[in-house]
Amino acid sequence: MGKSDSTLIAIGGGELAQATEVLKELISLLKKKEDPRIVVVTVATNESKSASEKYNSLFRGHDVKHVETVDIEQRDDAFIESSLKKVRNADAIFFTGGDQLNVTTLLGGSPVHNLIHDKFHEGVIIAGTSAGAAMMSSSMITSGGSGNPPVVGGVEFAPGMNMVEGTVIDTHFSQRSRHGRLLTAVAHHPHALGLGIDERTAMMIRGNEFKVIGEGVVTVVDGSQMRYCDLPYRQKNDPIGMFGADIHVLPSGYRFNLKTREPIAPKLRTLAATGNED
């Protein structure tokens, strides 16, 4: 992770324009910069032109005057100066949805990737939705069925971009019933913290802590204290037995310490006041 004032926003998917609270937070952070510039990275999607037009219109509609696109269609695009210049001048970098494997294979280890990491350590905002959030984990889910129980080999993995160390991030979480596949991921990688983000919901990460914003929840699966898992004795596609994994469900306003693995609740009176609003 970057220094304490660096900000990473992992969004669980859905239309960003409809994620009112998440979009408001992102725009608010961006406008703290003087004459801010946002770069939209479309490497994850095969429909880069329409994605570029959509986010250009969205951000300019919120009075962000400088919106540029970096499209990495092949690895060579991540080496050219025009791409590097846009990233170098950015105050925020936004990754679209699509296929997270596109991000790691086309961008990973390239000059653009290295520059993005450098910019993050300098305090630039890094945000991403759906695949653009999933790629931030260290162990990245590349495929796996929804609505299934945890089973041996139920998900496939690849190394992620490791923006949030020691994690597996899943998106569209409640909407696509991905609880079983995140439990599967944690059974295979109990040292990694499983983070399931709902649509129109985000984790805003600063330092070792994240805050939940948006209309859904972030589900945390912590297998570090799991005392029993029968995965090594099962066959492929067999259901997995697990005892003692910790599960936390965090709505908007809740926080989580990634270092100590402890959830942090807001004051109950604050919750009551918010809940009474129409």
So which residues are the catalytic ones? Answer: 130, 172, 199
Q: Tokens 């596949």 sit at which residue?
A: 181
* CA pair distance 178, 181, nearest whole angstrom: 5
Give the separation between CA 255 and CA 275, rounded to whole angstroms. Answer: 18
Please state, in angstroms and rounded to a whole number, the distance separating the CA atoms of residues 149 and 237: 10
Three-point CA angle 190, 222, 129, nearest 5°: 100
* Sign (positive or negative) of CA dihedral 24, 21, 259, 118: negative
